[in-house]
Chain A
Amino acid sequence: MKEFLKKALEKVDAEYADVRLEERLSTVVHMMGPETEEASEKRVLGGSVRAFHRGGIGFATFSRPEDAPRAAEEASRLARLASEGKSERLAPGVPVEDIVPPEIKGRDPRTVPLEEKAELVRSYNDIMLGVKGVVTTNTAYNDLFLRRVFLSTDGADITEERIYARIVLSATAADGSTVQSRHMAFADQMGYETVLNREGKAEEAAKDAVALLSAPKVQGGLYTVILDPIMAGVFVHEAFGHLSEADHLSRDKKMQEIMKPGQVFGIPELNITDKPIPGQWGYYKYDDEGTEKKTVYLVKEGVLTGRLHSRHTAALMGEEPTGNARAIDYSFPPIVRMSATCIEPGDKGFQELLEGIDKGIYVVSALGGMTELEMFTFSAQKAYMIERGEIKGLVRDVVLSGNVFETLKNIEGIGKDTLFWAGGCGKGMQNPLPVTTAAPHIRIKNVLVGGV
């Protein structure tokens, strides 16, 4: 198939172009309540050509490899049309030739029979349905084998394979018109073992959903909060990570001023990175324009030090590409995205974080998060009141919001633990992209909590 891609590059009539061809083999086993919704295996093949000419980007997809040359002509034509009045560059590409096998350590999910996957889903599903008060469930197993061939006019020739496996455990409890759910997911690129031995988690999810039915709604107001590692990870990804994506900065002078390296963003214990962590959900060796993913310190000892780049944004800002140009699949051009975004662990134990909180909230696991630049909103799956340094009763409907810059400065304690979390990130029309967050427990003062 590669000869079609090479032929495509010969047809390019632009300063630069790359071609991606992706093969995706996926398995889904999905149960809702007692019924199976889907148990299937799918194969999708497709590719695209992206051409770059003086700052204009042309992009064309193809579904059969033999159509790649035609897509290259189309992409070139569009790039030239989009280049009118522009004179921008891409940061130089590296002519890498590499074959990257999957990071898998354990059992290859492709070798596990569909029957076995279905049985696993059924067993978790039965556990959740067996908990009194649970009315329905959402239990899903997914795996994906991805082979991406990448060629560029800069001479890159990279074949990268990845294998993803994930189990989603979600229980819904209802009592009259009150409905509560609790979701958990476990996912990485290390092998089938990731989805095994989660029986305890299935039971916990179901019991949490039932307990939430009788939990009071939180009283709105300003609180000192402790975020668990999942919520802390979602916070750093949503509230800070997206701000560090240089496509928001590259032409916006005001934003560049706000995100100027050297600005103090938090206490000296605060370190934020985005890095390649082999085996984790958000991992890749090369991004979707052939740049090797590098470790980037976004914040070092409380001071802003770096940001995430594609080759285009790097050239616009006179900086180095960081390997953060990603697309959810071949049908989209890559844009600046995160990989694994981490708050590096600090030195506080959980008890130390609790100390001195007269009235606060311990927030456990994120239901979702959204930001609009400086403003963020996150909702918790569950939360507990903290009174005089002790964890008290369960509360629900905890939604945190605030200004990112103030909130980062209000981080007053960083735990010494850490936990990886696999998430799906949405940006533009591209959703969900596998990303990882890693964070310890963190304590933040003066957080606005919406509620009754």
Chain B
Amino acid sequence: MERIADELKKLGVSEFEIFYEERREQPVSFEQNVLQNLESKTEAGVGVRVVKDGRIGFTVSSDMRDPKAIAESAVASAKLGPEAAFSFPENKGFPAISYEGGDWPTTERLSLGKEVVGELSSVVPGLMVGFTASVITLKCRIINSSGLDASYEKPFYLLAAHASGMTETGYLSDGGFAYLTKVPDPQELINRTKERMKRALTLGRIGSGRKRVILAPQAMILMVESLEMGLSGKSVVKGSSPLRDKLGERIMGDKVDIWDDPLHPYLAGSRPFDDEGIPSRPRPIVEAGVLRSYNLDLWSAAKLGQEPTGSSSRNSYKQLPRAEFTNLLMNGGTESLDDIIRSVDEGIIVYDTIGGGQSNMMAGDFSFNVGLGFVISRGEIIGRVKDAMVAGNFYADSHNIISVSKEREPYGPTLLPYVLFDGLSVSVKEQ
């Protein structure tokens, strides 16, 4: 990396940033109840940004043996690149994070896979189980022309389990996934999945109309995705976000409290600094429905005249950074999920959604087919709901949130409660 920096200086570049990432991954995967693949993947490379004649150049390379070629390519790209609206940050010190980490050897993951396949496939004869357990090590280093030279290494773990197949109530598909910096304990995931699948073997009926709807954490992900689009500094600057000019204003109902926490003890998005070198810090996004912060990278922060929020992420060294959530947490309420279910006279609870990401998510709209959900009648779950669509708008409908569960569940790098909405539009196909 230093050699790339030297080559850049030789080319007269005074502002630059070199981002290095090395990712090692060892997934074990079962498909259709059978151990399928064992993989060993390594990917490493650099993304280089330079400022030349007031414009930004960008290049990537997986081969660092020719630093001169990398430097030249970055400089050449600046000719037509975007105008440089920001400067690269200095080193201001970083919070310490200690990852729990831990050993999760291949043999252990193999036997865990067999156990999970056995447990989930036995709920209904003929169910097919997929399972992935992966150990990932990420090394990241950033150096820039403002004197920053920072690096970290973090272990994280992926556990995904999924069962599907034909049952007497139609195709059933359910599971969960955890994305943590500690070795996942699959027991809760297995128990919850088994319980839901058993319940799904009875059908329940409900008519179309405005209903009370509980969205489980895996369905609440849709709200997180909508919010992430609206909070993106880029969308705010470009004017496509419905949240532009809404800082400090009420954008959601007062039961909504949302945090971004890049220092969370075990969710996988934790890190000491973001992918542009800004120190991590937890911050409120929405407090009692009031918008407190956008997700800002260097570019959008400079454009809006605000401080960057440590939200910059690159899915890989091959991509330019963009502002995203790190670990997204929604505060839980005071009631238990069981109490919330008991409070519903007629409604549904939705776990798995199909096609939720297709509506106008930027505007907060959602419209999805219920993959796995249940009819609630007089406070009891009576059976699976089929052929139903639920539609609404998270910004508008969040004002109709009746209660938020105290239980929260991790789903990917999020920790979300169950949320009961009043009066969501439910369309059911009559048989």
Using a CB–CB cutoff of 8 Å, the interface residues on chain A facing chain B are 29, 32-33, 35-46, 55-64, 74-75, 78-79, 81-82, 84, 86, 114-115, 118, 135-136, 172, 174, 177-181, 220-222, 247-248, 250-255, 258, 331, 333, 367-379, 396-397, 399, 401-403, 448-452
- CB atoms of A59 and B39 under 8 A apart: yes
Using a CB–CB cutoff of 8 Å, the interface residues on chain B facing chain A are 31-45, 57-63, 73, 76-77, 79-83, 106, 110, 126, 128, 164-166, 170-171, 173, 208, 234, 238-242, 318, 320, 352, 354-355, 357-360, 362-363, 365, 367-369, 371, 387, 389-391, 395, 425, 427, 429
- CB atoms of B354 and A220 under 8 A apart: no
- CB atoms of A374 and B35 under 8 A apart: no
Chain B residues within 8 Å of A115, by CB: 80
Chain A residues within 8 Å of B41, by CB: 59-61, 331
Please name 10 pairs of A and B residues whose Cβ atoms are closer than 8 Å in the assembled complex, sorted by A.
A38-B320, A40-B58, A42-B318, A43-B61, A247-B32, A371-B354, A378-B358, A397-B391, A399-B367, A451-B425
Cβ of A224 to closest chain B Cβ, rounded Å: 14
Most buried by A among B83, B371, B395: B371
The docked-state distance in angstroms from the alpha carbon of A136 to that of B236 is 11
Cβ of A19 to closest chain B Cβ, rounded Å: 15
- CB atoms of B240 and A82 under 8 A apart: no
- CB atoms of A64 and B371 under 8 A apart: no
Contact A401-B208, Cβ < 8 Å, known A372-B171, A375-B371 = no
Cβ of B318 to closest chain A Cβ, rounded Å: 7
- CB atoms of B59 and A41 under 8 A apart: yes
Most buried by A among B61, B234, B429: B429
CB-CB nearest in chain B for A84: B35
- CB atoms of A251 and B34 under 8 A apart: yes
Contact A377-B425, Cβ < 8 Å, known A81-B38, A448-B387 = no
Other-chain residue from A40, A44, A62, A450 in contact with B57 (beta carbon distance below 8 A): A40
Cβ of A69 to closest chain B Cβ, rounded Å: 14
Contact A82-B31, Cβ < 8 Å, known A63-B62, A174-B239, A376-B354 = no
Nearest 6 CB-CB pairs, A to B?
A377-B355, A450-B389, A379-B358, A368-B358, A39-B80, A78-B38
CB-CB nearest in chain B for A373: B171
Cβ of B335 to closest chain A Cβ, rounded Å: 29
- CB atoms of A401 and B60 under 8 A apart: no
Cβ of A341 to closest chain B Cβ, rounded Å: 19
The docked-state distance in angstroms from the alpha carbon of A45 to that of B44 is 11
Chain A residues within 8 Å of B110, by CB: 81
CB-CB nearest in chain A for B239: A135
Chain A residues within 8 Å of B34, by CB: 55, 86, 251
Contact A250-B82, Cβ < 8 Å, known A44-B45, A60-B39 = no
